Chain A
Amino acid sequence: MSIEIQNIRKQFGDFVALDDVNLTVNDGELLALLGPSGCGKTTLLRIIAGLERPDGGQVLFGGEDATHRHVAERKVGFVFQHYALFRHMTVFDNVAFGLTVKPRRTRPSPEAIRERVMELLRLVQLEWLADAYPPQLSGGQRQRIALARSLAVEPRVLLLDEPFGALDARVRKDLRRWLRELHDEIHLTSVFVTHDQEEALEVSDRVVVMDHGHIEQVGRPDEIYENPASPFVTQFLGDVNLFHGRVERGLFRVGDFAHPLAGHDDSDQALAYVRPHDLDVSMSAAQALAQGRIEHIHAVGPVVRLELRQDDGSVIDVALSKERYRELGLTPGDTAFVRPKKLSVFNGDASDYVI
């Protein structure tokens, strides 16, 4: 079922959590709400679920207005950040809860409930833990039980709040892949909240990047990564080097350096963002953006990371392939130029976009 969010506003005291947010979640897609803490992503998720009332705007489920529908009637699955499993119930009773609280008329028979619960426990591969209590489970197991519990009521949409936030790195990777596979299997419209850009880019069909109660950009992970719409998105999606300069007749100029730049109007103040792996090191100043002295070389793993210090003291991060590094034959203390293979240029002043 599709979800439409229209002009949603929410304020907590003086703090504006959501400022006129519009978004459509397509039927069957897995959407990530990505942003730093306090950007409004969790509030938006809770408004979709009905756990929070918006100050203005509408939430539509499949074209039908659900803004004033009570949370218990929305038929959404919600997985809480800390799982919120019922601690006094067994895993079985936790998963069965949504079915056993149904009014008598629509409640399935005990046998049907049992069958459904065991089916869900098999889906999350934990049927052997049916008799356990939540405190006896590991974080990853709790997560999967919380998911099974929310699926028991056959929700129209699935909402997950920081689903992997409280897990350690290894389990997180496994569960991520598992969630993606599960989604491909059941095709339930799903929205999850995360502050981890890697997670959002890896798992979701589309990513919504949020900041300060606004949506900054919506798009497929590769689109967002390759063509970030704003300095904020660029910085939030990963390590990036920033160059202050100006655009002049098809050239991006930083001091004495100039790099060809097509399709950009002239501007006195411009910012160029270049990811470390989009920088190349060169011994000539042609098309370079800056010059620096190589301070550190980290050559462990498939990528060689260099740190170049500029004359003004700022540091440029460069990631080279092993082959390219060997070819250049660099040693610490060398002075070299950095040349971008790809750069994102925005007009304006960087001070607005400090994360």
Chain B
Amino acid sequence: MSDSYSATAEARWVRWSLCGVALAFVFLFLLIPLLSVFQQALSHGVGLYLAALTEPDARAAIGLTVRSAAIAVPLNLVFGIAAAWAIARFEFRGKTLLTTLIDLPFSVSPVVAGLMFVLLFGVNSPVGAFLAAHGMKVIFAEPGIVLATVFVTFPFVARELIPLMQSQGADEEQAALVLGASGWKSFVRVTLPNVKWGLLYGVILCNARAMGEFGAVSVVSGHIRGETNTIPLHVEILYNEYNFVGAFACASILALLALLTLVIKSLIEWRQAREQNQASGRVQLARVRRAGEHA
């Protein structure tokens, strides 16, 4: 840190101890557990690690997790944009209620959410009985898992977009309309580009949660091996069976996903910064050239 900061900076020992506390925390609670996941997974060699990942039940769990995320994330994307648009751009009755409802999945315990679906779609409920009579199974089957995943990831995209769109205001969209753009063109060429980073960030978080969700999915899954187990559920089963290599191998996939998420996020931020830098570089150059011409 240069001396120019020292006028307003805290005393040296304050800075060092604050940094120290933060780093120690990161090390103890994030880095060590993360490393131990990989250490345990690879403790009996790469061969066993790969075998644990490629055995049929593990493959089925990975497949199911990817499928439910592949359904939940796009649904969320569409809903999140629609909700954010409605809340940020329009005044209507019940707007506060909608905003509160969007947050509901965050405030309800995932287990309760799962139970809710069991009560709603279980064979003992009228809806469940009706569906069962038509050969459709929701609880203890894939649809239930997808439903639970959609429910718990519901707020991610909308929560990311609403404050962003509110702060940006509707002026640019109105400008696009006055310039002759249709509503759709204004959305694609003005609204979306303005929120793209927030949107991407929301999708990343939503995906991480969709793949990692345990509580709600656990209640509706029924834990049928090779059929209704997602990765987190599979990890739990293996762990309870003292198959530590298998459990940590599958856990490492989720850990890798988390790391990948971080990498993508950093990449996005880096690209954004670079774009801005290049642009300001070009303007600087233009200024210098212009000054030269005038001289």
Contacts and interface: CB of A to CB of B under 8 A. Distances in A.
Nearest to A76: B178
B283 A136 contact: yes
B279 A133 contact: yes
Contact of B178 (A89, A132, A150): A150
Contacts of A85: 172, 175
Given A97-B179, A150-B178, A150-B179, A132 B172 contact: no
B43 interface: no
B178 A51 contact: yes
Kindly state the interface size class of chain A when it binds its partner: 20 to 34
A129 interface: yes
Contact of B180 (A72, A84, A128, A132): A72
Interface in A196-218: none
A86 B181 CA distance: 13
Main secondary structure of the interface of B (DSSP, over half): helix
B82 interface: no
Contact of B177 (A71, A87, A128, A136): A71
Interface in B254-285: 276, 279-280, 282-283
A116 interface: no
A128 B289 contact: yes
B290 A128 contact: yes
B193 interface: yes
Interface in B139-185: 171-172, 174-182, 185
Contact of A132 (B176, B193, B194, B279): B279
Contacts of A89: 193
Contacts of B286: 128-129, 131-132
A149 B180 CA distance: 12
Given A129-B286, A132-B286, A72 B171 contact: no
Contact of B174 (A80, A98, A101): A80
A153 interface: yes
Contacts of B42: none
Contacts of A77: 178
A102 interface: yes
B190 interface: yes
B189 interface: yes
Residue among B171, B176, B177, B178 facing the most chain A CB atoms (10 A cut-off): B178
Contacts of B279: 90, 131-133, 136
Contact of B190 (A75, A86, A149): A86
B194 A97 contact: no
B289 A98 contact: no
Contacts of B176: 86, 97, 101
Nearest to B194: A88
A84 B174 contact: yes
A86 B286 CA distance: 21
Interface residues of B, number: 24
A205 B276 CA distance: 43
A270 interface: no
Interface in B101-122: none
A78 interface: yes
Given A86-B190, A101-B189, A129-B283, A80 B180 contact: no
Contact of B172 (A50, A72, A86, A101): A86
Interface string A84-125: 111111100000011001100000000000000000000000
Contacts of A72: 177-182
Interface string A135-162: 0100000000000011011000000000
A82 interface: yes
Contacts of B189: 97, 101
Given A72-B177, A102-B180, A149-B179, A88 B171 contact: no
A98 B180 contact: yes
Nearest to A98: B179
A133 B280 CA distance: 8
B175 A78 contact: yes
Contacts of B282: 131-132
Contacts of A18: none
Nearest to B183: A72
B180 A101 contact: yes
A86 B180 CA distance: 15
A87 to B, nearest CB: 7
A224 interface: no
A10 to B, nearest CB: 16
Interface string B181-224: 11001000110011000000000000000000000000000000
A73 to B, nearest CB: 8
A153 B175 CA distance: 12
Contacts of B193: 86, 88-89
A49 interface: yes
7 contacts: A71-B178, A72-B179, A88-B193, A131-B282, A149-B175, A150-B179, A153-B179
Interface of B: 171-172, 174-182, 185, 189-190, 193-194, 276, 279-280, 282-283, 286, 289-290
Given A78-B178, A101-B182, 14 more contacts: A71-B177, A72-B178, A80-B174, A82-B171, A86-B175, A97-B189, A101-B189, A128-B290, A131-B282, A132-B279, A133-B283, A136-B280, A136-B283, A152-B179
Closest A-B pairs by Cβ, 10 of them: A84-B171, A98-B179, A84-B175, A101-B181, A132-B283, A78-B178, A88-B193, A131-B282, A136-B283, A133-B279
